[in-house]
Amino acid sequence: MAVENIIKIAIVGPESTGKSSLANQLATHFNTLFVPEYAREYCKDLNRNYTLEDEVNIFYGQVALENKLILLAKKGLIFCDTMVLTVKIWCDHLFGYTPAEVLDGIKDQNYDLYLLTDIDLPWQEDKLRDFPDLREHFMNVWHQELQAISANYRVVSGIGSTRFSTAKTIVENFLAEKDQKDL
């Protein structure tokens, strides 16, 4: 299947909102792959505060990982545990601006659907998470950023199996609507 025919669904949102778990669950349910969050691998052994250069490296790493794994997608569908808009959000927050190469690169990233994970899950401490008190702020930022790119997005709320069930239903409805439009 040609890459341009692959349906890409990005799971995005503030820290500690279950994005990785949800991406894995959805990929398993729909018998396909998910693109993991490159930043987790990049930062896991980083023994210093990350820099703007690190954010740009994460941007390129996420794009490369997605481009590699999309070629292996099954059933014309792939889930992405975050995407490069995350880099913009972190750059803006930490450094006050986003480099032009990242802004330009975001325009080249196209997703058919975004699942924005809500902040209704309890915070889970993790050495790679930084802002437990800013979850509401970042939720608002995600809404603004997704609206700014005219993204087709839905908020996924709920605890435990309810969250997965909600996301699964959203994806199933989206796929059914897409099939109807393609007829």
Taking only the tens place, the pLDDT of each residue in 163-177 is: 999 999 999 999 999
**CATH number, residue 162:** 3.40.50.300
pLDDT in tens, 4-45: 789 999 999 998 899 999 999 999 999 999 999 998 888 888
Average pLDDT, the chain: 91
User: According to the model, what pLDDT value does residue 28 have?
Assistant: 96
Task: Specify whether the CB–CB gap between 83 and 8 falls below 8 A.
Answer: no
Round to whole Å and give the CA distance between 179 and 76.
12
Q: 96, 17, 87: which is closest to 58 by C-alpha?
A: 87
Does the global pTM surpass 0.85?
A: yes
Task: Give the pLDDT band of residue 2 (cuts 50, 70, 90).
Answer: low
125 pLDDT higher than 60: yes
The total number of structural domains that make up the chain: 1
Domain that includes residue 142, residue range: 3-182
Give 110's DSSP letter: -
Crossing angle of helices 85-95/135-148, nearest 10°? Answer: 130
Residue 78 has pLDDT above 90, yes or no: yes
